[in-house]
Each structure stands twice: as C-alpha cells, then as structure tokens.
C-alpha cells in the first residue's frame, strides 16, 4: 500500500511523511534548500573580478622585481600556474553549476599550492617574504574565485592553510629580530593573503541568508490572499494521499482481495486512515492564514506564537493582513543583537462587545502583540507604518520590551454573508 | 522589495565593518611595530585608532553618514599626525601601516557608499580628496607609483564589492518575486483542491464511517453489505481523484438529502447544539430523511444522545461523528470518535451506562446496539432500529 509516498512540491521541499495519528498539523516548512542559491553566479563573477584585480596587482610587483630573483624562471612558472589556477577556477565556477566537483577543487588547490611553494622558493634567498612574495600573496585573492561554488568552510580552510604556510616560512626564513623594520611588511603580506577570502566567505554567507529570508518572506506573503479559513499548502496533497490510500483499501475490500474480517494489521491501517482523514477534513479548516504564515515560515516559526481562539485573524482584509504580517516580520527580523532571544506573541481577539451592533457596524478585534527582547528604540520605524494599516495602535513597554495593542476594525462576517 | 533592500544594506554595513576593522588592526600593528614610529607619535595615534575602530564598529549597525565622516576624519588625522611628526625619519613600517590605513581600512566605507543615489557623488569626492592626500603626503615615504596603485586597488575593489552586491539584489528580488507568484498560484490551487474534496465529503460521504468499521476488522457487519459499501466509497474516491466533483443524489441505496431539511435533521440539529454547548462538537453525515414511528424515534434519539454523552465524558476528544444510513428495513446510526478507546473486556459496559440506557432502550423497540473499540483507535457504536 502506497500509504506514504515521498512527494515534492514546486519548491523542492520534500514533504515528510507523517505517521500515526498526529498528522493533523502541517510540518513547519523547513525552507527551500536550494542547491542553486539565487544570485550566486552573478556574485561569482564579481568575486572573479576582484580576484583578477588582486592577481594583476601582484603581477605588477612580480614584473617590477624581476631583476632581484636569483632564479626568475621559478617565479615565472609560479605565476603561470597561479594564472592557470585563476582561469580554471573561474571557468569551473561558471560552468560546473553552483556546485563545483570536488576533483576540480582539488586540482585547483593543488595548482595554487604548487604556485605558492615555487614563489616562496624563488624568494628564499632574499630573506624578506613580506616584501618580495607576489604570487604567494596573490594566491589568497585567487582563492576568491571559488567562494560561491564551494561551501564557505572549505574556502576558509584553504585560506587558513595559506596563512599558516606564510607565517611558518616567514618565521623560518626572515630574521625579524635582527631587522626591526622588517616586521610590518610581513604583517601586511599575510593580511593581504588571508583577509579578503575570509571576508568574502562572510559576505557570501550573508548574501545567501538574505536571499533565503526574502524567499521565506515572499512565500509567506502568499497567505495574505487566502480565504478566511484556509488549509495549509500541504493539506490538499495530504488529503489526496490519504484519499488514494483509502480508495485502495476500500477497493480491495470491495473486490474481496482483502478477506473480511480484516487482519489486525490492515485494520490498524484503516484506523489510522480514518483518524487522519477526520482530522484533515474537520480540523484543518479552523486555521487561519496567520497560522499558516507562521508555521510555514522558517523565520517566524522559530519565535512567533499565535493565540487566536476564535480564528478572528481570518476576518482581516488583505491590507490589514499585509500590515500585520509585515509588522511581525520586522519585529522578528530586526537583529541588532544576534545573541538576544526575541519572541513575539500575537493574540487576536476576543471581540470587544459593541453596544451598537447591527448591520453595517464593523467589529472591533483587538490584537495584542507582546514581545520579549525587543526594545522600543530598536523597532524599525516602518513597523509603525505597517501597523497603521492594521488599525489604531498604541505601544507600551513591559519588562523592557515592546507591547503593542492594535484595535482592528473588520467587516462583520454576518453582514458579508447576508 | 523594501525588506530585501534593508537586508542588503545591513549586509553591506557588516561587510564594511569586518573589512574596516581587519585592516585597521593591520595598520595599527604596522605602526605599533618596534621601530616604525616614535613613542610620541604612537601615544597620539592610539586614541585616534580607537575612535576609528569604534566608528567602524558602529558603521556595522548604523546607516548614519556621521560614522563615515568620523572614520574618514580620524583616519586622515592619523595620516597627518604620523607624517608631521615623522617627517625626518620615514620608515618602511610606517609607510606600510599608512598604506594599509588609507588604501584599505578607510576604503571599507566604499562598500557602504556604493548604494544610494546621493552616495555615489559623495564617494567620488571622498576618493579624490583622500587619494590626493595619501599620495602627496606619502610621497617622501614610498614611490609615487606604489602609493597610487595600492590606493587604486583598495578603493576600486571595495567599490566593486559594494556595487556588485547592490546590482545583484534586484535580479535576485525579481526571481524571488516570480517564485512568490508561482507559490501563490500553487497555494490557491491547493486551497481549491482541498475545498473540492472537503465539499464532496461533507455532503455525501460515508468513507469515514466505513473506514471506522474496517478499523474494527469489520466485525459485526454483514460482509456482503460492507463490501458493497466499500465499493461505493471507493467509487466516490476514484471520481474525486479523476477530477470530477461527484454530486449523486443517491449513494448506493442511501438517500443523500442534506440532513438539515428534514424532520430528523432538525431534531438532530438540536442534539448537536445541545452537545455543542457542552463542548462536544457533533458532525453528521448521511441521510436525515427518515420517517420513524414516534416511540422508535424517541428511543433512537435517546440512545444516540447517550452515546454522545459517553463520548463527551470518556473519549478525551471534543468531536464525534454520527453517520445515519437507512435501508428498507432498518435505520442505522454510527457514532464514532477518535478518542482514547478502550479494551471492551476491561471495562464493564454497565459502567458506561451502556447496557441500561442504550441497549435496553433499543431492545424495547426491536433494535440493537453494537460497540467497537480498542485502545488508541477510538470507539464506534452502531445503533440499529427497525423502520
């Protein structure tokens, strides 16, 4: 029985099979794990440019000090190898998709390593690595070409190894104690070789997080147009899966393939199917767009909790929903102090009893947003603009964290239906 | 779009901070190395470096232009102090440190200045001013070409980094937006599909009831009847799967009128409301168009209510399903819940009031009741009365 089939939605998220009787909640969306992070190839091109710029600078130095080498040919070979590595790395990063094959990485790093070794050999007799190392220093920038196509940690390891190699050679080869003025040059050359790649790894990591966050936000944004009660993204697929399993079971009973009375195993399959179907058919519809937005989002799911006993969030119109979602989003995403644990609790309702209830009278739904770890002055100003779209709001501070009361006016569902 | 721009600016600021602080440290290390500058100069530049580093740290979190001004001012001050005090004793170490400072540490602001409309002219002015200053003031310390190249490499690579990220973001945002549109369509389709299936269910579905009977191995129901019912249900599911919205007025031999419209339906509605008030939600399925002798109807309803009361008290769930079906000779109600269930032999059925209230009542009018349950898989009670 194909009870649990692996399914994948358009985002490549594998819908994890849910077992037993608690399949009523959609699993929190684990976020699209894209093999191809958006914008990577463009950033890779930029990294290649910076890399080439650095190589050009080093090459200039190499040409300028040609006469100083005791064996300039060795240094020349070192440079040829380094430029080869640059081309190999750039081409491979461009054409091997976003994930460079490991063997190309190994070849690339081997060429770079040989180039560094040859350069250090060529300048050994000069006993001033900082001043004369050219391709050995530029190698740190050449590593940049692979920064978008391999995991950051690999680039960092290569970078650190290069730094260690340079430091070791400097300690062995250069007489720092004897020549006091020589130290700064050694420092700058090591810094040149190691800092750019380190920061590039941080930059690329930050960029990917930014893309992931935006993707998450845009996907969650689609809940704004959902009906008052909505099923989650995965509900219909779940339902279809359960229906199919039920159909197969019923069919096999009807045709006599499965003899009656049923064996305990088949009976328990029927039991779990009935339970899951029941939960899906009835429970699922009580959840509002806001519930789905929070559970489907990687970002919101972690720190936002929702209390909405009357499912009143469903009454908000598109504009109010958009404002509320943006405000919550901005409260959570404001990461001035990454260490700070911030949580947001959104409480919707209960409806304020209005004496003037009647046709055409709007209902007042109070929304209370309580937070922890978010001080008033840390709140992004556009959060308030977003809240203004939801309704009249007032903010206060409790336990040094912001608390916001919004009075949200919504159409009376009774009027709408009438 | 606004959100991603905000994130982009944060990313640029953090990058500028990391770059600036790293090269500030390098520049300071060069200047503080033994023999680079005299002790007086060192004492003077230490606070300036502290200001520089603090401003660069603040640049990571604040978009205020003031921090950029502080960075550039303190950096230039360091340059002036060193150049003025060390005119007579230029060292390679001081030259290297100042080179790092002017060409890289200060150039980190270019990453931030690459975004924003008015920022590009600002950047141009800054680059020109600092470039002239650095090259001219450092002229006695190191070759002109060297200073110019280093300065150009530092500032152009930092500008490139900033501009590149700024250019990448709209492309990415466009692609994300199109993914978002696709996702919205998918959500809509998903919603419609779920709605279709659900509507089909709530109107005329006995799948749940049949499955529940099967969950108890189909014991107690005539195999032929169960098989026929299973065939009907499988057909309905097949129709659903193939995309049709089945709206038969009869399913097998059962009437499929909406229950609310009939006498029994109205009575059931009041039962439902009564239990709804007590915290048990009752949903029911199947036909409601049943005409019964009044004594039979009373017994039937009382037994039904008693079963629901048991669900409310013992099952641990707040929801029960009642499926009512009838044929030529009998009217049958199946009360199911997804609650805790129990082992039939373990619980004295009298304790549930079952024997007295349900079985006895139905027997009086010629009906019967059967109970199916096992721990963890809910309970089903089948009530039957003759028509």
> Inter-chain contact B214–A270, Cβ cutoff 8 Å?
yes
Least CB–CB distance from A60: residue in B22, B149, B212: B149
Model confidence at A27, pLDDT cuts 50, 70, 90, reads very low
Alpha carbons A321 and A327: distance in angstroms, whole number: 10
Residues of B with CB below 8 A from A191's CB?
Answer: 22-23, 26, 100
A258-263 average pLDDT score? 76
Compute the average pLDDT of residues B256-273.
Answer: 54
Which pLDDT score is estimated for B92? Answer: 83
* B145/B352: higher pLDDT: B145
Tens digit of each residue's pLDDT (9 = 90 or more) over B356-378:
667 777 887 888 888 877 777 78
The kind and range of the H/E element at B56 are helix B39-59
Categorize the per-residue pLDDT at B60 as very low, low, confident or very high, splitting at 50, 70 and 90: confident
Domain that holds residue A348: 302-418
Higher pLDDT, B312 or A29: B312
Q: Select from A50, A198, A237 the Cβ nearest to the Cβ of B160.
A: A50
- Max mean pLDDT among A66-80, A327-341, B83-97, B130-144 falls in A66-80
Q: Long-range contacts for B224-233 (Cβ within 8 Å, ≥24 apart)?
A: B226/A253, B226/A260, B227/A253, B227/A254, B227/A256, B227/A260, B228/A254, B228/B252, B230/A250, B230/A251, B230/A253, B230/A254, B231/A250, B231/A251, B231/A254, B231/A255, B232/B206, B233/A246, B233/A250, B233/B205, B233/B206, B233/B207
pLDDT at residue A326, rounded to an integer = 87
Per residue in B98-119, pLDDT (tens digit) is 989 999 999 999 998 887 777 7
Nearest beta carbon to residue B168 from set A39, A218, A270: A39
Residue with tokens 């036909």: B287
Give residue A225's pLDDT.
77
- pLDDT cut 70: percent of chain A above it: 82
- Of A43, A198, A214, which is closest to B3 when you measure between CB atoms? A214
Shortest Cα distance from A55 to chain B (angstroms)?
11
Which of B1, B7, B319 would best serve as a mutation to test chain A binding (most A beta carbons within 10 A)?
A: B7
Does A96 map to a domain? yes
Q: Cβ separation of A214 and B149 shorter than 8 Å?
A: no
Please check whether residues A316 and A418 belong to one and the same domain. Answer: yes
For the segment B298-308, the average pLDDT, to the nearest whole number, is: 79
Nearest neighbour of A226 by CB, restricted to B180, B187, B240: B187
Name the pLDDT band for A233 (thresholds 50, 70, 90): low
Nearest to A199 among B22, B184, B217 (CB): B22
How close is the nearest chain A Cα to the Cα of B295, in Å? 33
C-beta atoms of A254 and B230 within 8 A: yes
pLDDT tens digits, A348-362? 877 777 655 555 677
Token representation of residue B347: 């619980």
Q: Which residue has the higher pLDDT, B154 or A12?
A: B154
| A51: in domain | yes
Instruction: Indicate yes or no: CB of B160 within 8 angstroms of CB of A266.
Output: no
Mean pLDDT, chain B, integer: 79
CA distance, residue A392 to nearest chain B CA (Å): 23
Substitution target from A147, A190, A214, A231 for chain B, most B beta carbons within 10 A: A214
CB contact under 8 A, A236 and B191: yes
Rounded CA-CA distance B279/B152 in Å is: 76
Q: How many domains does chain A have?
A: 2
**Pair (A205, A338) in one structural domain:** no
Choose the final residue of a domain: A190, A216, A242. A216
Residues A173 and A322 in one domain: no
Q: How far apart are CA B285 and CA B256, in angstroms?
A: 9
Alpha-helical runs (H) found in A65-101: 72-95
Q: Please determine, for residue A281, whether its predicted confidence score (pLDDT) is greater than 80.
A: no
Check residues B178 and B219 and name the one with the higher pLDDT: B178
pLDDT at residue B288, as a whole number: 58
Residue A32 lies in a domain: no
Residues of A in contact with B168 (CB under 8 A): 39, 42-43, 46, 207
Using an 8 Å CB-CB cutoff, list chain A residues near B30.
Answer: 184, 187-188
Domain-embedded: residue A239: no
Is residue A331 within 8 Å of residue A374, measured between CB atoms? yes
Closest CA to A323 of A367, A393, A395, A389: A389
Are residues A211 and A86 both part of a single domain? Answer: yes
Residue B305 is predicted with a pLDDT of: 79
Among all chains, which residue has been given the structure tokens 């190691």?
A194
Residues A71 and A191 in one domain: yes
Please indicate, yes or no, if residue A284 is contained in any of the structural domains. Answer: no
Which is more confident, A39 or A152? A152
**E strand or H helix at A120:** helix A102-122
Structure tokens at B304: 């039904």
Put simply, the answer to whether A39 touches B11 (Cβ < 8 Å) is no
Asked if residue A188 and residue A52 are part of one domain, the reply reads: yes
Paired with A365 in beta bridges are A408
Which residues fall within 8 angstroms of residue A413, CB to CB, at 6 or more apart? A228, A315
Chain A: closest CA distance from residue B148 (Å): 12
Q: Examine the fold and report which residue of A199, A216, A233 is the final residue of a domain before the chain moves on.
A: A216
**A227 pLDDT more than 90:** no
Structure tokens at A46: 């930029």
pLDDT at position A231: 66
User: What is the tens place of the pLDDT at every residue in B194-250?
Assistant: 777 766 665 546 777 777 777 777 666 677 777 877 887 788 778 777 766 555 444
- Are A51 and A193 found together in one domain? yes
Hey, which residues does A401 pair with through a beta bridge? A398
Q: What is the pLDDT of residue B277?
A: 65
| B214/A222 touch (CB, cutoff 8 Å), yes or no | no
Closest residue in A to B183 (Cα–Cα)? A219
- At residue B93, does pLDDT exceed 70? yes
CATH (domain of A399): 3.30.565
- Tell me, what's the pLDDT at A381? 80
CB contact under 8 Å between A221 and B23, yes or no, is no
Q: Do the Cβ atoms of A187 and B30 come within 8 Å? A: yes
> Which residues of A, range 51-70, sit inside 8 Å of B by Cβ?
53-54, 57, 60
Contact B179 A11 (CB under 8 A): yes
Q: Is the pLDDT of residue A282 over 80?
A: no
Contacts of A19 in chain B (CB under 8 A): none
- Inside any domain, residue A106: yes
Residues A310 and A212 in one domain: no
Q: Do B378 and A225 touch (CB under 8 A)?
A: no
- Any chain B CB within 8 A of the CB of A191? yes
Helix (H, G, I), strand (E, B) or coil at A246: helix
Mutate to test the interface with B, among A58, A98, A271 (most CBs of B within 10 A): A271
Provide the pLDDT confidence category of residue B260 given band limits of 50, 70 and 90: very low
Chain A's closest residue to B176, CA to CA, is: A215
A285:B198 CB<8 A: yes
**Chain A, 114-173: which have a CB under 8 Å from a chain B CB?**
none
Whether A116 shows a pLDDT value over 90: the answer reads yes
Residue B200: what pLDDT? 66
For residue A173, what are the contacts with CB-CB under 8 A and spacing of at least 6?
A120, A124, A127, A129
Using the beta-carbon criterion (under 8 Å), do A202 and B228 form an inter-chain contact?
A: no
The helix-helix angle for A289-296 and A183-221 (nearest 10°) equals 150
Cβ–Cβ below 8 Å for B92 and A185: yes
Q: Which residues in chain B have their CB less than 8 angstroms from residue A230's CB? A: 191
The model's confidence at residue A232, banded by pLDDT at 50, 70 and 90, is low
Q: A212 with A322, same domain?
A: no
**Domain assignment of residue A229, yes or no:** no
Which residue bears the tokens 């060390």?
A: B86
pTM for this prediction: 0.68
**A375 touching B (Cβ < 8 Å):** no
**Are A354 and A212 within one domain?**
no
For residue A278, give the nearest of B179, B208, B227 by CB distance.
B208
State the nearest Cα–Cα gap between A76 and chain B, in angstroms: 22
> Is 50 exceeded by the pLDDT of residue A20?
no
Decide which of B28 and A275 is more confident. B28
Most confident of A224-228, B5-9, B192-196: B5-9
- Do the Cβ atoms of A235 and B179 come within 8 Å? no
Residue A29 pLDDT exceeds 60: no
Q: Which of A181, A216, A251 is the last residue of a domain?
A: A216
pLDDT tier for residue A33 given thresholds of 50, 70 and 90: very low
A361-396 pLDDT, tens per residue? 777 888 888 888 888 887 878 888 888 888 888 888
Burial class (CB in 10 A: 0-12, 13-18, 19+), A387: buried
- What average pLDDT does this structure show over B14-28? 94
What would the mean pLDDT of B57-86 be, rounded to a whole number? Answer: 90
Give contacts of A 209-268 with B, CB under 8 A. 210-211, 213-215, 217-219, 221-223, 225-227, 230-231, 233-237, 239-240, 243-244, 246-247, 249-251, 253-256, 260-264, 266-268
Q: What percent of chain B has pLDDT over 70?
A: 82
Q: Is residue A156 part of a domain?
A: yes
- Name the more confident of B324 and A404: A404
- Residues B91-103 have a mean pLDDT of 89
Average pLDDT over residues B39-64: 91
Residue A417 reports pLDDT greater than 70: no
Question: Mean per-residue pLDDT for A56-64?
Answer: 90
pLDDT confidence bin for B57, thresholds 50/70/90: very high
Residues of chain B with C-beta less than 8 angstroms from the C-beta of A44: none
Among candidates A49, A215, A285 on the partner chain, residue whose Cβ is nearest the Cβ of B160: A49
């Amino acid at each position: 029985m194909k009870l649990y089939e692996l399914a994948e939605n358009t985002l490549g998220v594998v819908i994890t099979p849910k077992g037993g009787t608690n399949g009523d909640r959609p699993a929190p969306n684990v976020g699209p794990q894209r093999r191809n992070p958006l914008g990577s190839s463009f950033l890779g091109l930029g990294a290649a440019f910076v890399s080439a710029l650095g190589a050009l600078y080093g090459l200039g130095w190499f040409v300028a000090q040609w006469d100083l080498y005791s064996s300039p040919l060795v240094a020349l070979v070192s440079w040829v190898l380094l430029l080869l590595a640059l081309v190999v790395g750039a081409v491979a990063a461009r054409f091997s998709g976003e994930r460079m094959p490991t063997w190309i990485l190994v070849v690339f790093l081997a060429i770079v390593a040989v180039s560094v070794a040859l350069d250090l050999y060529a300048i050994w007799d000069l006993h001033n690595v900082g001043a004369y190392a050219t391709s050995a220093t530029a190698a740190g920038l050449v590593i940049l070409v692979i920064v978008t196509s391999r995991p950051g940690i690999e680039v960092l390891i290569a970078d650190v190894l290069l730094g260690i190699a340079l430091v070791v050679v400097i300690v062995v080869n250069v007489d720092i104690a004897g020549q006091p003025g020589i130290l700064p040059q050694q420092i700058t050359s090591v810094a040149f070789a190691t800092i750019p790649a380190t920061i590039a790894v941080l930059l690329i990591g930050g960029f990917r997080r930014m893309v992931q966050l935006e993707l998450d936000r845009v996907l969650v944004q689609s809940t704004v147009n959902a009906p008052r009660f909505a099923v989650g993204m995965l509900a219909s697929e779940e339902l279809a899966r359960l229906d199919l399993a039920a159909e197969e079971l019923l069919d096999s009973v009807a045709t006599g393939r499965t003899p009656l009375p049923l064996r305990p195993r088949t009976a328990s399959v029927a039991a779990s199917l009935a339970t899951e179907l029941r939960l899906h058919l009835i429970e699922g519809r009580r959840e509002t767009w806001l519930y789905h937005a929070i559970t489907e989002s990687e970002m919101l799911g972690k720190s936002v909790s929702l209390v909405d006993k009357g499912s009143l969030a469903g009454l908000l119109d598109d504009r109010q929903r958009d404002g509320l979602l943006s405000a919550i989003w901005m409260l959570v995403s404001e990461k001035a102090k990454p260490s700070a644990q911030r949580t947001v609790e959104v409480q919707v309702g209960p409806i304020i009893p209005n004496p003037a209830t009647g046709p055409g009278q709007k209902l007042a739904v109070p929304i209370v947003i309580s937070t922890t770890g978010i001080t008033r002055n840390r709140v992004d100003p556009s959060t308030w603009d977003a809240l203004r779209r939801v309704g009249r709001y007032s903010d206060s501070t409790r336990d040094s964290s912001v608390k916001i009361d919004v009075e949200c006016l919504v159409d009376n569902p009774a009027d709408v239906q009438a | 779009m606004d959100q991603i721009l905000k994130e982009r600016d944060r990313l640029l600021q953090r990058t500028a901070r990391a770059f600036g602080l790293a090269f500030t440290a390098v520049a300071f290390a060069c200047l503080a190395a033994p023999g680079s500058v005299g002790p007086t100069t060192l004492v003077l530049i230490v606070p300036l470096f502290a200001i520089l580093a603090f401003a660069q740290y603040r640049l990571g979190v604040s978009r205020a232009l003031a921090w950029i001004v502080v960075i550039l001012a303190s950096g230039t001050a360091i340059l002036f102090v060193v150049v003025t005090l060390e005119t007579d004793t230029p060292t390679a170490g001081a030259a290297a440190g100042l080179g790092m400072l002017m060409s890289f540490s200060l150039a980190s602001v270019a990453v931030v200045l690459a975004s924003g409309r008015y920022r590009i002219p600002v950047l141009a002015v800054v680059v020109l001013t600092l470039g002239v200053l650095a090259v001219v003031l450092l002229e006695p310390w190191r070759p002109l070409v060297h200073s110019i190249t280093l300065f150009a490499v530092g500032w152009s690579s930092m500008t490139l980094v900033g501009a590149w990220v700024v250019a990448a973001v709209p492309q990415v945002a466009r692609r994300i937006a199109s993914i978002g549109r696709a996702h919205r369509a998918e959500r809509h389709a998903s919603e419609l599909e779920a709605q279709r299936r659900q509507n089909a269910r709530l109107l005329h579905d006995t799948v749940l009831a049949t499955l529940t009977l099967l969950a108890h191995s189909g014991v107690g129901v005539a195999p032929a009847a169960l098989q026929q019912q299973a065939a009907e249900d499988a057909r309905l599911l097949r129709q659903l799967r193939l995309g049709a919205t089945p709206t038969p007025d009869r399913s097998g031999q059962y009437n499929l009128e909406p229950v609310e419209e009939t006498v029994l339906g109205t009575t059931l509605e009041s039962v439902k409301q009564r239990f709804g008030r007590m915290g048990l939600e009752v949903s029911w399925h199947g036909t409601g168009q049943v005409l019964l002798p009044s004594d039979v109807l009373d017994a039937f309803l009382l037994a039904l209510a008693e079963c629901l009361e048991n669900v409310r008290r013992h099952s641990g769930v707040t929801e029960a399903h009642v499926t009512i079906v009838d044929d030529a000779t009998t009217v049958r109600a199946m009360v199911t819940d997804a609650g805790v269930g129990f082992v039939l032999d373990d619980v004295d059925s009298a304790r549930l009031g079952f024997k007295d209230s349900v079985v006895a009542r139905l027997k009086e009018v010629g009906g019967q009741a059967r109970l199916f349950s096992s721990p963890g898989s809910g309970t089903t009670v089948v009530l039957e009365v003759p028509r």
